[in-house]
Amino acid sequence: MKHISITVNGDQHELLVEANWTLLETLRDHLRLTGTKEGCSNGNCGACTVMVNGRTANSCLVLAAEMDGNEITTIEGIASQGKLNPVQEAFIKDGALQCGFCTPGFIISATALLQRNPDPSEEEIRTRLAGNLCRCTGYDKIVMAVEDAAAMLRT
Amino acid sequence: MPDFDFAQPTSLNEALELFAADGEVRALVGGTDIVDQLKTGRRNADMVVDLKRIPELQRLEIEADGLHIGAARSLTDIAEFPVVLSDYKGLADSSVLVGSWQIQNRAGIGGNVCNAAPSGDTIPALLSHETSAIVASSSGRREIALSDFFAGPGQTVLQKDEILVELVLPPIPDDSASSYLRFIPRNEMDIAVVGAGSFLHLGSDGAVQKARIALASVAPTPVRARAAEGVLEGNVLSDELIETAAVAAVEAATPISDVRGSAEYRRELVKVLTRRTLGISRDRIVG
C-alpha cells in the first residue's frame, strides 16, 4: 500500500492505496463520493471527469497513487455553501439531462471551461465537451445550458 | 487491473535505477494509454514508474539549439505555449487533436511518442520539425533522430533500461511554417484514418529550401514522405507542384485495410491531406 495525502473538495484525506487503484474507484468505493460515475472505464465517455489541480481528467485513467499532494474537485464540491453553481442551475433550468448519468462529468467539464473562458463560442463549448458523451439529449440542451451559465457568470 | 508496484521518483537518477532493475518496468506520464493497456492486458507491468515529478521531464523552454520539451509535459501545456503557437504550429495543431480535453490535460508528449501508435497525432508534427529524442539510461545518454525512433506498432528502439527524457525541435528559420491535420469520420475523439504533417521553408525567390512531410496511420510506424519532399525542394512552390508532391507522398504509404478504412481509401487520403497540409503551411508563411 502507498500512503497518499490528497485534498478532495477542500477536505484533506490521508489514505493508503494499492498501486492498481484508480482515482475513480478510490473516490467512489473508499471516500464514498459516488457522484463521479463509471461509464466506459477507458477514457472515452467522460462520466468519471473530475478536476485535478483545476484541470479536468478522466479519473478512470488516473492511478490514486499518482495523486499524492494534489487537489481534486468532484461534482460534490461544485456547489458552495448549499448554493448550486451557475452551471448546475442552468442544467436544471434548461433541462439539459435525461437519465443524468453523464451530468456530473458534463458539469465538471463545463465549469472548467467557464473558468478558463467566461464567454465561449458554441464551437468552443462543443470542442471542450467532446470528451463527455451523452446518449440521451442530443447535446443541444447541454450546449444551451453552458451558454446560459456563461451569461449568468458574466452578469 | 493486475497487481504491480508503483514508484514516483523525483530525480532522473532515481528513475534510471528503477529501470535498470529486472522485470517489466513501465513508464507512466499521463497514464491515458498505459492505464487502459494495463486494465485490458495489452501491456503488462511488474512496476509502474510515474515520471511526472522529475523536473527535467517537465521542461518547456527555448534554448539556442531549439525548443526543449520534457517527455512528461502535458499536451495542454504544449498547445498553449506561446512559442509553439507562433513557431511550431504543426505541433499545436496536433496536440489538441489527441483524445479529449481531459486526455490532453494529463497525457504527456513522451507518452504519445513512446506508445508508438502508427496513428499517434503528435508524431508527424514532430517528424516534420526534425525532432531529436534525448534518451537516458544509467550508463549514459544518447540522441536519436525521431525518424529512427520507431520499430513497429507500439514498438520503439528504446532499450529496457532507457527513458525518453526530452524532445528537441531545432530552431525554425524565417519564412517557414508547419501544420498537421488528420481525417476522421467524426468531429472529435477518434483515431486518425490518415494524418499528415508538413514543414516548409521558402527562399526569397519563392523556391522551397526545405520540405518535410510525415504521415500517420499509413504504415507500421509514422513515416516521412521523402519522395514528396524531393519533389518540392529546389522548385518554386505552386499549386501544381503541391499536387505533384501529394501524388508522390503516396509512395511512402504502405497502409493496411482495417475498420477505419481500406488501404485504397488511405492512399487517396494521403494525397488529399498532403495537398492540404502543404497549402496550410504555405498560407502560414505568406500570412
**pLDDT tens by residue, B243-264:** 999 999 999 999 999 999 999 9
Structural domain ending residue among the three candidates B117, B143, B169: B169
Domain co-membership, B65 together with B139 = yes
**Interface touch B188/A127, C-beta < 8 Å:** yes
Structural domain ending residue among the three candidates B101, B136, B169: B169
Calpha distance A34→A120 (Å, rounded): 30
Integer-rounded Cα radius of gyration of chain A: 15
Q: Record the cell numbers describing residue B71, joined without a space.
A: 517527455
Nearest residue in A to B190, CA atom: A44
Calpha distance B61→A124 (Å, rounded): 28
Which pLDDT band, with edges at 50, 70 and 90, does A145 fall under?
Answer: very high
Alpha helices by DSSP H, chain A: 23-25, 86-93, 103-116, 122-128, 140-154
Which pLDDT band, with edges at 50, 70 and 90, does A141 fall under?
Answer: very high
* Confidence (pLDDT) at B58: 98
* Confidence (pLDDT) at A93: 97
- CB neighbours of residue B24 within 10 Å: 12
Count of domains for chain B: 3
> Domain containing B28 — which CATH number?
3.30.43
* pLDDT of B150 higher than 90: yes
**Interface touch B102/A109, C-beta < 8 Å:** yes
Average pLDDT of the residues of chain B: 97
In the block, which residue shows the cell 475498420? Answer: B259
**Residues from chain A contacting residue B105 (CB–CB below 8 Å):** 52, 55-57
> Domain containing B225 — which CATH number?
3.30.390.50
Mean pLDDT of B168-195: 95
Query: DSSP for B22-84?
Result: SS-EEEESS-TTHHHHHHHTSS--SEEEE-TT-GGGG-EEEETTEEEEETT-BHHHHHH-HHH
**Interface touch B3/A61, C-beta < 8 Å:** no
Domain co-membership, B74 together with B132 = yes
* pLDDT of B29 higher than 90: yes
Asked if A25 contacts A36 with a C-beta cutoff of 8 angstroms, the reply is no
**Interface touch A126/B6, C-beta < 8 Å:** no
* Confidence (pLDDT) at B188: 85
Calpha distance B65→B83 (Å, rounded): 14
* pLDDT of A78 higher than 80: yes
* Confidence (pLDDT) at B179: 98
Domain co-membership, B100 together with B131 = yes
Domain co-membership, B32 together with B69 = no
Question: Least CB-CB distance to A65: which of B3, B6, B105?
Answer: B6
Domain co-membership, B165 together with B181 = no
Mean pLDDT of B179-194: 93
Q: Record the cell numbers describing residue A19, joined without a space.
A: 498501486
Domain co-membership, B150 together with B180 = no
pLDDT digits (tens, 9 = 90+) for A37-72: 999 999 999 999 999 999 999 999 999 999 999 999
Question: Least CB-CB distance to A57: which of B2, B50, B102?
Answer: B102
Domain co-membership, B75 together with B11 = no
pLDDT digits (tens, 9 = 90+) for B35-51: 999 999 999 999 999 99
> Complex ipTM above 0.95?
yes
Calpha distance A132→A90 (Å, rounded): 17
**Interface touch A43/B102, C-beta < 8 Å:** yes
* Confidence (pLDDT) at B31: 97
* pLDDT of B187 higher than 90: no
What domains lie within chain A, and their CATH numbers? 2-77 (3.10.20.30), 86-154 (1.10.150.120)
Nearest residue in B to A46, CA atom: B102
- Percent share of chain A, pLDDT over 90: 97
* Å between B187 CA and nearest CA of chain A: 9
Q: Which residues of A make CB contacts under 8 Å with B? A: 2, 18-20, 22, 41-44, 46, 49, 52, 55-58, 60-63, 65-66, 68, 109, 112, 126-128, 130-132
Nearest residue in A to B8, CA atom: A66
Q: Which residues of B make CB contacts under 8 Å with A? A: 1-6, 8, 28, 30-32, 35-36, 38-40, 48, 50, 52, 76, 99-103, 105-106, 187-189
Domain co-membership, B32 together with B108 = no
Q: Record the cell numbers describing residue B20, joined without a space.
A: 535498470
* pLDDT of B189 higher than 90: no
Mean pLDDT of B191-202: 97
Domain co-membership, B140 together with B211 = no
- Percent share of chain A, pLDDT over 70: 100
A8 bridge partner residues? A11, A72
* pLDDT of A76 higher than 80: yes
Whole domain around residue B104: which residue ranges? 56-169
* pLDDT of B287 higher than 90: no
Question: Least CB-CB distance to A41: which of B6, B39, B106?
Answer: B39
Domain co-membership, B88 together with B157 = yes
Give the Cα-Cα-Cα angle A137, A141, A142 (nearest 5 degrees): 85
Burial profile A131-149: b = 16 or more Cβ within 10 angstroms, e = fewer:
bbbbeebebebbbbbbbbb
* pLDDT of A30 higher than 90: yes
Q: Record the cell numbers describing residue B176, joined without a space.
A: 517557414
Question: Least CB-CB distance to B105: which of A42, A55, A60?
Answer: A55
* Confidence (pLDDT) at A92: 97
